[in-house]
Every structure is written in C-alpha cells, then in structure tokens.
Structure 1
Amino acid sequence: MYTKRPNLMLGFHGCDESVRDQLISKPDIVKSSQEIYDWLGHGFYVWENNYERAYKWALDKQKRGTLKVPSVVGVVYQLDYCLDFTDSQFINILSTYYELMKDDLSFAGKKLPENKNAGSDKHCDLVLRELDCAVIQYLHQKIGEKIKDDIVTKGFSELIHFDTVRGLFTEGGPAFDGAGIQMKNHIQICIRNLNCIKGFFIPRSKTKFP
C-alpha cells in the first residue's frame, strides 16, 4: 500500500557542461550508466537534493580527465515503485537475492564479484562496488523473468518492475575527530524507468529577497 511514491522530488546530476546542455535541449535523450561497479545497479543517477555533492563529483571527474567542464543539471523526478535501501523490507529482499545469486554462481563454477577500493581512496570506502551492482542487477533480472513466466502461465503477475533504486551512503572519512558523520554522506538515486524523470533544469543561484 505504501510502496508507491508518486510525489515529485529534486535531484542533481553531475556531468560535463555539454551533457547538461544536451539534457536541457533534448530531454528525451537520456543515457543510463551501465558500469559494472554502479553502486545501485544500472540507470540514470542523481544525488537526492544535493547540488554540492553533484558538483564535487563532476570536479573529481575533471581531475581524472574524464570530463572537460564540470557542471550540474537539476532533475525533477519521482521514485514511484522504489527499491529503497533505507527501508528494511527491501534490504531483506536484497539479502535473499544475494543468496540465490551465490548459489547460481557456485553451481556454474563461478566466483562472486567483489567490492573493491580505488587505488587513491585513503578511506577505503569500497567505491568500486561490483558485488553490490551484480546482486541488484540479478534481482531485477530474476523479477523480470518471473513476471514473464507468470504472464505466460496465468496471464498476469503480482510482481512489478522497480522504477528506481535509492541508497544512503556514508563515505569520505569523519567530519571531525571521533565523528560518526562522514564528509561525503549522501543519498543516491538510480532511475531505471526513465519515465520517472519529469524534466531537467539549469540550477539558479539564490537571490536576495525582498
């Protein structure tokens, strides 16, 4: 009853200025991430209501030489049916699919992927999350297969695809000595169903009022 989340939300996507401008001028052309280390699986990523973190991410990519002009595009979206890892029921679901995937790989004589640290990460935050990505993608795959099988065998399915994935992450080292709060804490959204994106905008600066 409470798993659908139709309300509109604001997020920010760090990118090159050229990508920002293309999303503004051609909003129906949206590229989803397909990296094996995507933290929440494959999809279009936004930082939930966090402009500064999105811009910092773009700056870091500029330093690594993977974009030229760091920029941020605003995103209006809805979560709709969300695989939300701040909600216990969905964390439990993920744990179940991990065990299923582990058994499948063992039967096939294959090893589980692993989450890894980037060479430059002094905080060891396991930023290359190949295991997490694989489990989430496996979950989506198996749900999709079950839906198709249900439709063939009985004409309908009680399962539905997840539109988005949401995760709360702590990283970046303590904000001060002894702190439980870390410098790069954030909420990330992976939008799988691109129809959940309602529009893009160029974030404006705050003006004085009155």
Structure 2
Amino acid sequence: MTSFQRLDYQRTIIGYHGCDKAVAAEVLQNHQHLRPSENTYDWLGKGVYFWEHAPRRALEFAHEQKRRGKVEEPAVLGAYIHLGRCFDLTDVEHTRQLGVAYGDFKDILTDEGQPVPMNRAASSDDHDLLLRELDCALINWYMRRLDRQAGVPYAYQTLRGVFQEGAAAFNGSTIREKSHIQICVRDTQCVIGYFLPTTHF
C-alpha cells in the first residue's frame, strides 16, 4: 500500500474564499467550481485556495485584492471540503519529504542550466516574502512526480499548511496578526458544496 493511500483524511472542514461578488454569484448560480490559481508565487502550488475556518481573513484578502484592482466588490464564498488524501505540512512526514525532494529538484535545475527559484518580497516593507516562487515551484514539481508514480490524476487531492504572517499581535510577541491555515484544493471533487455565508463578520 502506497503512502498516499494510507494518509486519506476522513475529515471535512469549512473553507472560505475571498473573491469578487460576481465570481461568488457565478459559482453558486451556475453550479461551477472556482478556477484553480496558477500564479508562480502561490504558497502551496497550483489549486483552489481557501482559508480554513477564517471568514474574516478571507474578507480581508478580498479587500486587499480590491486595492490591487483585481476585485470590484469584495465577497466571501464558503465551501465544505473533504480533505481526502491531504499533503499536510503540519505533519513532519510531509515537511521532511519536501526537504528530500528539494535536493532532487535543485539538482535537475542545475543540470539543465536553470536557476533555482527564490521566495521574494512583494515590496520594501514585506518581511514575510509573500512571493513564494521557490515553494510554489517545488510543490508543483513534487506533486507532479507523485502523480506519475501513483498513476492517478491526484496522488494528493489537497494540501494544507499553517503560515505565520503579518506584524506581531502585541509588543514582544511571536504571535502574528495574520497567521492562518491555508487549504489548496487540487482535486475539485473534494469540494462537497459551496455556500454564501449569512453571518456578518
């Protein structure tokens, strides 16, 4: 039995996606799935992104996207997500796998004469290195490798990671204001259904 078969998460979580109101309406009215993000700097690689149990953070993100000119009317879309085969970065097995995979990834790029991507700051005051091009490239490469080895479309259907982000919550603290759990859905069949939150947050 392969490792990805052993790690099927029999767990359903609620995720929240910050987006434009028109996008939320299209998904709900036309029974569509959200489109996967394919930015080179996505923190967990290619997939549909959700904030786990964090509707306020999703709304903040939608407002941030409005300031960047990517959203007209900020909204939040909720989703019931069955994690299925989850590459969970709170599990040392998975973080250690990435450490080993990085060596192979770096060697291949070096042999091909290609530069190894780097995580970069999005602005001069960005201390979190928000443009995670190294993490994204490695995860995408490793997921494709595992897919091929397993002979299935998605050896891992979802990815999950805990990230510390933002300023200190209070003076001297290591707790960060924007810390969150991020879910990246590779296989949209894991999304049981979408809903429009009615709670004011």
Query: Do both share a fold (TM > 0.5)?
Result: yes
Q: Report if the CA contact (8 A) 1:123-1:173 is conserved.
A: no
Instruction: From the CA coordinates, give the structure whose radius of gyration is larger.
Output: 1
Q: Any unmatched runs of 5+ in structure 2?
A: none
| Paired amino acid for 2:27 | L
Q: Any unmatched runs of 5+ in structure 1?
A: 149-156
Matches within 5 A, 1:194-209: 194-205=188-199
Superimposed CA distance per residue, residues 169-210 of structure 1 (whole angstroms, 9 cap, x where no aligned partner): 00101000000100000000000010000000010126xxxx
1:109: Cα distance to partner? 1.0
The answer for the alignment partner of 1:173 in structure 2 is: 167
The answer for the alignment partner of 2:94 in structure 1 is: 90
Alignment root-mean-square deviation, CA: 1.5
1:65: Cα distance to partner? 1.0
Q: Secondary structure at the match of 1:203?
A: coil
State how many pairs are aligned: 195
Q: Among residues 102, 111, 118, which one is paired with 2:115 in the alignment?
A: 111
1:45 paired to 2:49: yes
1:2: Cα distance to partner? 6.0
1:6: Cα distance to partner? 2.2
| Paired amino acid for 2:173 | A
| Paired amino acid for 1:185 | S
Q: Secondary structure at the match of 1:67?
A: coil
Scaled by the length of structure 2, the TM-score of the pair is 0.92
Q: Among residues 103, 111, 120, which one is paired with 1:99 in the alignment?
A: 103
d(CA) in 2 for partners of 1:98, 1:196? 28
Scaled by the length of structure 1, the TM-score of the pair is 0.89
d(CA) in 2 for partners of 1:20, 1:205? 16
Divergent runs of 4+, >6 A: none
Superimposed CA distance per residue, residues 44-82 of structure 1 (whole angstroms, 9 cap, x where no aligned partner): 000000001000000011011111000000011111110
Q: Which moved more, 1:15-24 or 1:28-37?
A: 28-37
Q: Report if the CA contact (8 A) 2:33-2:188 is conserved.
A: no
